[in-house]
Amino acid sequence: MKILLLNPPFLKKFSRPQRSPAVTKSGTLYFPMWLAYAAGVLGENGYDVDLIDAPADGCSIDEIIGKTKKFQPSLIVLDTSTPSIYNDIAVAVRLKEICPSSFITLVGTHVSALPDETLNIDKKVDAVARYEYDYTLLDLAKTLNTQGNLRNVSGLCFREGNTIIHNPARSYIENLDELPFVSTVYKKFLKIENYFNPNALYPMVTITTSRGCPFPCTFCVYPQTLMGRGFRVRSVENVVAEMEYIRETFPQAKAIFFEDDTMTVNKNRCKELAELIIKKKLSISWTANARIGLDYETMRILKKAGCRSFCVGFESGSQKILDNMKKKAKLEEMESFMANARKAGILIHGCFMAGLPGETKETLQETLNLAKKLNPDTVQFYPVMVYPGTEAYAWYKERNLISTSDYKQWITPEGLHNTVISTDTLSSEELVRFCDHARREFYLRPSYILHKAIQMVISPREIRRTFKSARTFFKYLIRGSDLPEKV
């Protein structure tokens, strides 16, 4: 049985697999990691699999049609996102027309949150696999292959005549070590040079050491629509074995990016991972998503084990705002965290959001003040992006603070993030202007420019990453926003 897993064509360099899908100002492009994991599971079970990442490879719809005609898959799985959902379904329809006997299944955060709405857009789409879908797709393939009953496939929503059937949810995978290394799938199907994250040395390979996040933040889309609130981990031995595989198989890779929701939930596990990396004498730079709260001793050993940087969601300079979004973080902890990171020599990319519940002009200024005070290596300021299936989306929708129900409007015509929310006191235009202002205030400080120049002199390996991201980012920084005046 042949199975095609497709990250569909859309806009050039559209980063569909990231938490806020868009064409990014920094040129970021995420690996199709969850799709690749599923491809690995299917391939390991004997299915003839092809994985195509159209945005990364620059494939047009005509090229995808040509590849699909030649491959003739019985099952076609398409990744989706909120801003591209209409495009993604249109691609699915085109593929159904050329392979009418194929079974079309959609995956991703958007369809997981809205299976009925999705399946009602076009009847040529056969099913949606909700939440964590590795084994849902495997069971679906087995069922289709044996002409079994689709009602027995946990996690599947499918069309049966004019009725949409919702099968029971599938339990989350507890033993993540049983999954194949996602990097083996990259090796077979992808070119790592196509992918870029400005927070890691280039080129890099993205993997994960865990799934799910135990924290209750209202806006974060993966825990609420894909991987769940439970924190499930791979053994440190399994993680390090994959790091060794990457080191041997991708000699051009300068770094590994750990794309866990929050890798640093368990400090003891972090230390165990670091100790094993050191014991194995595994020399490669790595970056991870982290939360505040790490102590200096933990950071010190992580640095020794190759940790170069952390991506950290500080979000707001107002404690009230942090509490409203259920961040479970204190402002004073942020300052001690940054002090520990500097002492350990770990770079920090700080994430800040505008437009959270309770936001005012005063709290926005507090956020900018905090960013300057913390002074991380790099920052991002974005108006809140809300996605179906999250508490945040429900909160804004109930208060009529989302300006449109047209998902295409979640991005601009060029593919950049758009702002579809406002607050009780601030318009979407005011949120955008603040973010533009905050980026300029932070990055155009003479002290910051001097710091980056010195950093590249001291650490020449930073030059390629810095210039690759700056090439597009500073164009937007200097000219201001390219978002529309009216949303």
Give 258-272 pLDDT, tens digit per residue. 999 999 999 999 999
* Distance from C-alpha of 292 to C-alpha of 301, rounded to nearest angstrom: 16
Helices (H), 79-192: 85-98, 109-113, 115-119, 134-145, 182-189
pLDDT at 450: 79
User: Could you report the per-residue pLDDT of 16-64, keeping only the tens digit for each?
Assistant: 999 999 999 888 999 999 999 999 999 999 999 999 999 999 999 999 9
| pLDDT of 403 higher than 80 | yes
Alpha helices in 263-351 (DSSP H): 267-279, 296-304, 319-324, 331-344
CB 154 within 8 A of CB 169: yes
pLDDT band at 465 (very low <50, low <70, confident <90, very high): low
Q: Please, which pLDDT band fits residue 456 given cuts at 50, 70 and 90?
A: confident
pLDDT digits (tens, 9 = 90+) for 109-167: 999 999 999 999 999 999 999 999 999 999 999 999 999 999 999 999 999 999 999 99
For the segment 275-324, what is each residue's pLDDT rounded down to a tens digit? 999 999 999 999 999 999 999 999 999 999 999 999 999 999 999 999 99
Q: Looking up tokens 């989306």, which residue turns up?
A: 393
Give the chain's end-to-end CA distance (angstroms, integer).
46
Q: What is the mean pLDDT of residues 453-477?
A: 61
pLDDT in tens, 330-387: 999 999 999 999 999 999 999 999 999 999 999 999 999 999 999 999 999 999 999 9
Q: What are 332's two structure tokens?
A: 């004073």
Predicted local confidence at residue 447, as pLDDT: 82
Query: Which of left, alpha, beta for 254 (phi over 0: left; psi -120 to 50: alpha)?
Result: alpha
Residue type at position 287: T
How many C-beta atoms lie closer than 10 Å to residue 365's C-beta? 14
Alpha-helical runs (H) found in 27-84: 33-44, 54-57, 61-71
Question: What pLDDT score does 280 carry?
Answer: 97
- pLDDT greater than 50 at residue 485: no
Cα-based torsion angle of the residue sequence 221, 226, 229, 231 in order, rounded to the nearest 10 degrees: -120
pLDDT tens-digit map of 406-452? 999 999 999 999 999 999 999 999 999 999 999 999 999 888 887 77
Strand-pair partners of 5: 51, 77
pLDDT for 481: 46
pLDDT tens by residue, 200-233:
999 999 999 999 999 999 999 999 999 999 999 9
3-state secondary structure of 48: strand
Strand partners, 381: 352
Q: What domains are defined for the chain? A: 2-166 (3.40.50.280), 197-479 (3.80.30.20)
β-bridge pairing 156-160 and 127-129: antiparallel
Is residue 31 within 8 A of residue 190, CB to CB? The reply is yes
C-alpha span between 27 and 476 (Å, rounded): 12
Q: State the Cα–Cα distance between residues 69 and 53, nearest whole angstrom.
A: 17
Q: Is 100 helix (H, G, I), strand (E, B) or coil?
A: coil
Average pLDDT, the chain: 94
Residue that is written with structure tokens 């379904």 in the block? 89
